Structure 1
């Protein structure tokens, strides 16, 4: 687990208390070190520095210490109160705010603690390198030591705390701490009366430090400068952390997007609830409660630049009317719903706001509700969208944790082999007719997952192979003729594979695509499946996926944004593949979305530029749920394509299984087991 994802660094998690206490004690130890730094005659140097400050104040006509000190020295009760205020209130208020932030606002606590530490480190350095005696310890200036004069037991300057560094006037940490408390309270939604009391404490502290002759006026000015500098540094660091760079593998999908090829992924969700539920207000409340856990819901892209990478920045005000929208179907049932999804797929998401939408569909069926959840590919891939949905559910769910992945050595060797394989790969020679239209058609169908898995086991293939065979066979039956020098005998499809760590974070793209040539000529479907299974062995070796991930995630970082965008447009789309097919894991745990029972989820996968077809498969609640997206001109009837794909799978289920073979385990089977154990890129099903 990386430092960024360590449990103590996650949003809402408190850092270990023992570590924080040790950190605080180290700051006090720093003062002891500062006081011990040898600078000739330390007391003489400190007194000389004090005189210089006082002379400068007189030149600037701001030397207010003497009249305030004379008045306070003549009023014993006020002087004793001021002495105790000087010794206690700034410490108590600071410790209270630190404890309160740690307990109630752990995310803010990290920034506040860092700024507080920096204030004290700067102060200790100043005390060590340029000690300054307070006015009361410079006899020739004529100030009254109110602590000694009025016998204030336990205050600074009394014998009880005589061990403290008395040559630490510049900057005034009393003012710095009080100002730090006021700044932190001003940055949080607390009562105005508390903020006003904190601001009053700053002015009281300013009066007390000067009137008791513990500090010069310029010491307070130095404190203001130190606090300002500390917040400049910590806010800039916090801003960088809260404005993460969009990595190349995510920005890739911004580059390939156009008005005709929107790049948002998503899901079509069905709820076992009456039409009109869940209420829009309940959905908004659900999403509001997850903004800290799912930060991209509240972030937008920074402006584009040819030389600097985009960043994710906090969006000041979420337009809930746009992000959570109600849509009434013009026609009830699947026909109206699929038409709505196709229309939503045809509209690029604007980049001036968080790049997601949730559409509450009304009018689908009296006893069933539907929700369309869309998220731009720059935010997350298909796995990331599923992870977002799982965290929105009640109870929250998570994808199964995969293996740890290959070792660094195996990954490096596999990447080298994969790069060589990609370099020698032949060009695709079959093209589907792509009109370039921005209009999309969408369709769905479902099959029992146990039946599909049983089919795959009988024929010694994987569920992904069955999905790919249904794509090729179904499109062959009802789709247009494919062109190319080979007469359309092979159709190249991009199959995304997981190449990240064992856990799938909600944000980012953690897959890399492997190209597979599907047998597309006329043949029995069982023969197509067997030929296809042989072709998909590359899915299980993992070398091409590792090479693709290296290029997308590592090598691309060396390119400035303008060249990276050109690279993305050159390699992604119809010149490289003709369709996209992905098989995604889901959940079998009963759950609710905004209080409504969730029953079905179909994936929504975007097509690529010049690649007019995208097929997604998602296992959910014991069913294999298919979602097919295509350019509206690719097939005359999307329902016919869905029906043809279903027919292919049913034919495969009825076909006879091959005779069992004796002998050693085939290499591809061993490779598949290796991938399942986490030694290579994962392929669902």
Structure 2
């Protein structure tokens, strides 16, 4: 990738090829015609081989649907039909609208997407094919006669009455299948056009016009006596299923997955959602401090492996999902700044100055008009210490993905070995676990009161390093896990240093691996599980025992399965406006008080060029409406811990860490 960025004209050709999806995304027109003919052949095959007694079954089905509507007092098709039959020119207009517009709009849309939006074409075409295949299967298995064919029902066939060209009212298509009321492809195709326009084009005007066409088509199919309103409901189902199948089949890499977009939806100006690592470097054996040039060269050499570093978000829309789009003009001075912490007296700034810098960066949102990352070089922290502050938006990676990204930039092996085998349950266990987990999530406790949390981007940040083996040994001696020690020490410390009243139980969100990580560990494959931590006055061993008992839910897996299903699978079906509402109502201070994360890191020596890594510490965002987050990386023998908090809740993290260590001493 270095050559691409520095080779002049060859750069322009490479970037143009990446930016023009039509160069690689538009299929041959003759293949598309062949696909259309194949779909028509499937229709003819179904017509030629119906199941036994299709007419009898279709009439029975039609009468059953009409009887159900009458039982529901929703059989309004007949008065609409009788009114239209007496309207003259309006009846003729409705007949031709029924015969022509749904076909014309669908074909025009396909041609438009093929010509103007080739990068979307395959998914659009696939969704159209799937909705038609599903409808054809329904026609074959469940033929339904339209209302106009039911003897004695009183409906008038306005299309045949007007000899409408293009329908069975004219000899040209008199042999068309008339036992195909369920689902209504007229509404289905019109609705499909609306869905595609919403996803690609967006805009209020386009949506109003398209929605108007769908409503007119719905009124026409009912008033002409050709469909029941339940047929239109069936059309909604096949359109949704066709779009969902097409999305899964196409496996689009440019769409922001719902589990990733979640953190874009919950983000507020005062609650930015980027994650990262504070990477401490030993400069004692190198000639000088790390530079902007070294950082830029490191990233440039890996850009081919880091597509999100070359991409930004598409323009937001209430209906169209966010996508990653190419953004080759990287502002290197912004993405890779250098901060020199040398004080006014010429002395190194120290760890306090570094912590203040991290707090400022953690509280400042990443602008969405450029790729969502920064790689900040920090020099002159101490005489032999520098740092890199690596930040990416949570929509690009979770905590594990961020660590892996850092290791990749340092030409180090990733965390595959550290994570070990991620065991995924089989389909039956997933189903059962998901059902149980959904019930658990629905009945889990909510915070009895909320902690002090302001709409402010002001942060304080601090770090602590302890011996990792010592922590593991203490956990073994007490028969608990290291995460239990983290939760217990956090609760004990907050009791002694936090401002304002505290609840009797602290509800803490603990992120866990929720799915097998992606090959590059990009995106989000974690889910948060809530653990209740007692906050009353008690010996710390008693608190630890209660935490360990409450923490057993971290190992059951059911809540993780359910949470992953909701955030990834169900949320992928939500339009962006609803996804935003959903995300903001299920995440944050109304559901938990704060976050505690314990992640594995490299257990081998890592170096960045001539600079060995001393350790790496996590940078984790505050969830909206929560005032604190603690995180740990088990890094090369070090229990590397960080804390970020609203200063209105804890104004200084140093006392917090002192009380945390006191709690560990009491446990030991």
**Shorter chain as normaliser: what TM range?**
0.5 to 0.7
1:469-488 → structure 2 map (5 Å cutoff): 469-483=488-502, 488=503
CA distance in 1 between counterparts of 2:548 and 2:251 reads 45
| TM-score, scaled to structure 1 | 0.61
Counterpart among 351, 355, 359 of residue 376 in structure 2 = 359
Change (3 A) 1:559 1:230: closer
Counterpart among 271, 279, 284 of residue 281 in structure 2 = 271
Mapped contact 2:633–2:641 kept (Cα < 8 A): yes
Counterpart among 602, 605, 627 of residue 642 in structure 2 = 627
- Work out whether 1:296 is the aligned partner of 2:308: yes
1:234-273 → structure 2 map (5 Å cutoff): 244-273=254-283
Which ranges of structure 2 fall in alignment gaps of 5 or more residues? 3-13, 36-113, 124-199, 201-249, 344-348
SS in 2 for 1:300: strand
Mapped contact 1:492–1:577 kept (Cα < 8 A): yes
- CA deviation vs aligned residue, 1:483-513 (integer Å, no higher than 9, x gap): 4xxxx21000111110111556332111111
Mapped contact 1:260–1:437 kept (Cα < 8 A): yes
- Work out whether 1:641 is the aligned partner of 2:653: no
CA drift of 1:330 comes to 6.1
Mapped contact 2:280–2:616 kept (Cα < 8 A): yes
Q: In the alignment, which residue of structure 2 is the partner of 1:460?
A: 479
CA drift of 1:637 comes to 1.6
- Work out whether 1:339 is the aligned partner of 2:356: yes
Mapped contact 1:243–1:314 kept (Cα < 8 A): no
CA distance in 2 between counterparts of 1:470 and 1:602 reads 18
CA drift of 1:234 comes to 7.5
Q: In the alignment, which residue of structure 2 is the partner of 1:602?
A: 617
Counterpart among 429, 432, 436 of residue 451 in structure 2 = 432
- CA deviation vs aligned residue, 1:355-396 (integer Å, no higher than 9, x gap): 010111122011111111111111111111011111111334
CA distance in 2 between counterparts of 1:298 and 1:393 reads 19
CA drift of 1:397 comes to 3.0
CA drift of 1:595 comes to 3.9
1:179-258 → structure 2 map (5 Å cutoff): 244-258=254-268
CA drift of 1:257 comes to 1.1
Larger Rg: 1
CA distance in 1 between counterparts of 2:252 and 2:259 reads 19
Q: In the alignment, which residue of structure 2 is the partner of 1:382?
A: 399
- CA deviation vs aligned residue, 1:40-93 (integer Å, no higher than 9, x gap): xxxxxxxxxxxxxxxxxxxxxxxxxxxxxxxxxxxxxxxxxxxxxxxxxxxxxx
- Work out whether 1:369 is the aligned partner of 2:386: yes
Mapped contact 2:22–2:117 kept (Cα < 8 A): no
Q: In the alignment, which residue of structure 2 is the partner of 1:309?
A: 321
CA drift of 1:249 comes to 1.1
Counterpart among 543, 547, 558 of residue 573 in structure 2 = 558
Change (3 A) 1:502 1:355: closer
CA distance in 2 between counterparts of 1:321 and 1:349 reads 15
- Work out whether 1:416 is the aligned partner of 2:442: no
CA distance in 2 between counterparts of 1:323 and 1:344 reads 12
Counterpart among 531, 556, 565 of residue 516 in structure 1 = 531
CA distance in 2 between counterparts of 1:114 and 1:535 reads 53
- CA deviation vs aligned residue, 1:269-299 (integer Å, no higher than 9, x gap): 0111159532211110110111111111111
- Work out whether 1:391 is the aligned partner of 2:408: yes
- Work out whether 1:285 is the aligned partner of 2:297: yes
CA drift of 1:402 comes to 2.3
Which ranges of structure 1 fall in alignment gaps of 5 or more residues? 1-10, 13-103, 126-228, 655-685
Mapped contact 1:445–1:646 kept (Cα < 8 A): no
SS in 2 for 1:445: strand
Change (3 A) 1:651 1:242: same
Greater Cα shift, 602-611 or 585-594: 585-594
Mapped contact 1:444–1:602 kept (Cα < 8 A): yes
SS in 2 for 1:251: helix
Mapped contact 2:500–2:649 kept (Cα < 8 A): no
| TM-score, scaled to structure 2 | 0.62
CA distance in 2 between counterparts of 1:503 and 1:650 reads 39
CA drift of 1:265 comes to 0.7
CA distance in 1 between counterparts of 2:342 and 2:647 reads 19
Mapped contact 1:446–1:625 kept (Cα < 8 A): yes
SS in 1 for 2:416: coil
Q: RMSD of the TM alignment (CA)?
A: 3.1
CA distance in 2 between counterparts of 1:116 and 1:329 reads 52
CA drift of 1:404 comes to 3.3
CA drift of 1:346 comes to 1.3
Change (3 A) 1:489 1:292: same
Change (3 A) 1:475 1:504: farther
Greater Cα shift, 472-481 or 502-511: 502-511
CA distance in 2 between counterparts of 1:358 and 1:116 reads 36
- CA deviation vs aligned residue, 1:429-474 (integer Å, no higher than 9, x gap): 1332113321010010011111100111111100111111111111
Q: In the alignment, which residue of structure 2 is the partner of 1:101?
A: none
Mapped contact 2:295–2:377 kept (Cα < 8 A): no
Mapped contact 2:491–2:533 kept (Cα < 8 A): yes
Change (3 A) 1:280 1:534: same
SS in 2 for 1:554: helix
Kindly report structure 1 stretches of 4+ aligned residues shifted beyond 4 Å.
111-125, 229-243
CA distance in 1 between counterparts of 2:449 and 2:350 reads 36
CA drift of 1:403 comes to 2.8
Q: In the alignment, which residue of structure 1 is the partner of 2:222?
A: none
